[in-house]
Amino acid sequence: MCGIAGYYSREEKDAANQVMLMLYAQQHRGQESCGIAVSKGIKLQLHKSMGYVKEAFPEETLERLSGSVAIGHVRYPTRGDAVIENTQPYIIETLSGPIYAIASNGDIVNYDEVANELRVKGVHFSSKNDGELLGRFIVYYHERKDMEIVDAIRLLMKKIKGAYSAVFLTCSTLYAFRDENGFRPMLMGQRGNHVAFASESCALDILRVDSMREIQPGEIVVVTPQQEIYQSHFHAQLLTTEPLPTPQPHHCVFEMIYFARPDSYQFGEYVYEVRQQIGARLAAYDDDIGDVVVPVPDSANFIAMGYALAKNIPFQMGLIRNHYVGRTFIRPDQYTRDESVRQKFNPLKDFFTGKRVILVDDSIVRGTTIRKLVRMLKGAGAREVHLRIGSPPVKFSCYYGIDTPNPSELIANNMTVDEIQEYIGADSLKYLAIDDLQKCVQSCDKFCYACFNGKYPVPKSQMGVETPVGEEVGK
Ligand code: SF4
């Protein structure tokens, strides 16, 4: 999880403001903390804060951050605690002052191995965050081994395994790069002489970019100032490297099911279209079992819509979500999660009485939220609640940046589908089959499905963690 943004303009001084707008559009990717680093010419300036983007960047703060190149980050912690020290972007201080910054999305699976190698070479870390590791790696090879930054990033891609989409800032140049598997999304947009990078296209839409494309897995894009001959102003010069030869991308399919905003375009297709197809596939499993289709808002809205359209059954928003409570799935501790379920959803009064309800959710992780919701609907008078899930059972943990819990906490790792149905109290329960999920995305062999089938694209030997039952891809 997490969302990143980068913006480059040589004419305007409002890069931090543009980055703030992009972070705002990506708030769903992380709500614990956020930050923006901006170039002030000969040094960088950083502002970071716990909490939401809206509160972190009032007008007076943005005025202080005036500058033409900036990067930003919204964070949900998957490595390291939710404290300000782990908040990104990371500024890397050198003898010349704060002149490098980085923001990244994803999880590095060989973190310990690479961090220890750098420690032996005399590099010190102030946090346990992946972003800091990426930044210190680049700066070490650039400053102490005289490598060009692009070459240091190339080396990083060969040595550091796992998921990372990142933006790296110097006082004059902006770099964007993505791991060779392309686990996490990352796009680039251009409007005139302005260049923007973001985790999701919805953030670039806000800037009304003229053109947009994905950063390829293993690609580095560099935006540098280039002075026009006979003129005093600069133009952005775009350089891109040939992507690393990668045997196979492995985009996170969970981004399409749950995590990304439905209005985003990523991995070559529109998220809302994939979700509607998932709903239609689920509908094909059933005869006439319900009077109304109700989503668990918001991530299941389009899946439920696809189901309802395919079956010609009314789609109704019978559950109302309080949008000012954070996502249940991404709140770390159990107490907060339990409380927030009650605070977050409320059924429409008299709506469910006597109805056979098809309740649609995107996934079941621990089962605690959906169990409460099924009880809530029955308490509100529903005659039957048939639960349909837009993904296969989540049985394995993710090591590539989505905060699924330890396998022992995953309900599908401990119970059969029948047992889950009984525990949850639904009248029936069906999950989407993995081969049907694969039919809902255009290039099914370019996705990672490891949390469903345990086939981890990055070999276990590089993870430094004990992986559960599944296999590595290709074995
Ligand atoms: Fe996405 Fe699951 Fe793969 Fe993690 S394991 S990258 S959540 S598909």
User: 450 CB under 6 A from ligand 1?
Assistant: yes
What is the rounded distance in angstroms from the CA atom of residue 332 to the CA atom of residue 336?
8
Tokens of 3: 């969302």
What is the number of the ligand 1 atom nearest to the C-alpha of 402? 7
**Read out DSSP for 38-99?**
EE-SSSEEEEEEES-HHHH--HHHHHHT-BSEEEEEEE--SSS-SSGGG-SSEEEEETTEEE
CA of 122 to the centre of ligand 1 (A): 34
Quote the ligand 1 centre to 115 CA distance (angstroms).
24
In this predicted structure, the answer to whether residue 462 has a pLDDT above a threshold of 70 is: no
Residue 44 neighbours by CB under 8 Å, 6+ apart: 37, 38, 91, 98, 99, 100, 101, 169, 171
Angle at 254 between CA 251 and CA 259, to 5 degrees: 110
Which amino acid residue places its CA nearest to atom 6 of ligand 1? 252
Q: Is 259 in the pocket of ligand 1 (CB under 6 A)?
A: no
3-state secondary structure of 167: strand
Helix (H, G, I), strand (E, B) or coil at 322: coil
- pLDDT tens for 238-280 read 777 777 776 679 999 999 999 999 999 999 999 999 999 999 9
Residue corresponding to tokens 């010069």: 237
Question: Distance (Å, rounded) from C-alpha 396 to C-alpha 219?
Answer: 29
Query: Nearest-CA neighbor of 234 among 466, 8, 44, 7?
Result: 8
Average pLDDT of span 90-110: 93
Which residue do the tokens 């796009």 mark? 187
Distance in angstroms (rounded) separating the CA atoms of residues 157 and 134: 10
Residue nearest to atom 2 of ligand 1 (CA): 451
Per-residue pLDDT tens for 373-425? 999 999 999 999 999 999 999 999 998 988 777 889 999 999 999 999 999 99
pLDDT for position 91: 95
Residue nearest to atom 1 of ligand 1 (CA): 252
Q: Give yes or no for residue 24 having a pLDDT over 60.
A: yes
Alpha carbons 199 and 181: distance in angstroms, whole number:
15
Determine whether the shortest distance from the Cβ of 253 to ligand 1 is under 6 A: yes
Task: Count other C-beta atoms under 10 Å from residue 415's C-beta.
Answer: 16
At 113, list the tokens.
């191995």
Max Cα-Cα span within the chain: 78
Ligand 1 pocket check for 463: Cβ under 6 Å: no
Query: What does the pLDDT read at residue 444?
Result: 86
Ligand 1 mean position to 141 CA, how many Å?
31
**Rg of the Cα trace of the chain?**
23
- Ligand 1 mutation pick, 396, 398, 455, 456, max ligand atoms within 8 A of CB: 398
State the Cα–Cα distance between residues 135 and 143, nearest whole angstrom: 12
C-alpha of residue 390 to centroid of ligand 1, in Å = 15
In degrees, to the nearest 5, what angle opens at C-alpha 106 toward C-alphas 103 and 112? 95
- Site to probe by mutation for ligand 1, drawn from 330, 449, 463, 467 as the one with most ligand atoms within 8 Å of Cβ, is 449
Reply yes or no on whether the pLDDT at 46 is more than 70. Answer: yes
CB atoms inside a 10 Å sphere around CB 1: 26
Mutation test of ligand 1: which of 402, 440, 467 has the most ligand atoms closer than 8 Å to its C-beta?
Answer: 402
What pLDDT does 472 receive? Answer: 39
C-alpha span between 264 and 272 (Å, rounded): 8
**Strand-strand pairing, 165-169 and 97-105:** antiparallel
402 lines ligand 1 (CB under 6 A): yes
Is residue 444 annotated as part of the catalytic site, yes or no? no
User: What's the chain's average pLDDT?
Assistant: 89
Strands 165-169 and 174-178: antiparallel
**Other residues' Cβ atoms within 10 Å of the Cβ of residue 417:** 13
DSSP state of 437: H
Measure 250 CA to ligand 1 centroid, in angstroms.
9
Amino acid making up residue 459: P
Q: Ligand 1 within 6 A of 254 CB?
A: yes
Q: Is 181 helix (H, G, I), strand (E, B) or coil?
A: coil
pTM here is: 0.91
Instruction: Judge contact between 20 and 48, C-beta under 8 A.
Output: no
Q: Is 258 in the pocket of ligand 1 (CB under 6 A)?
A: no
Mean pLDDT across 442-466 = 81
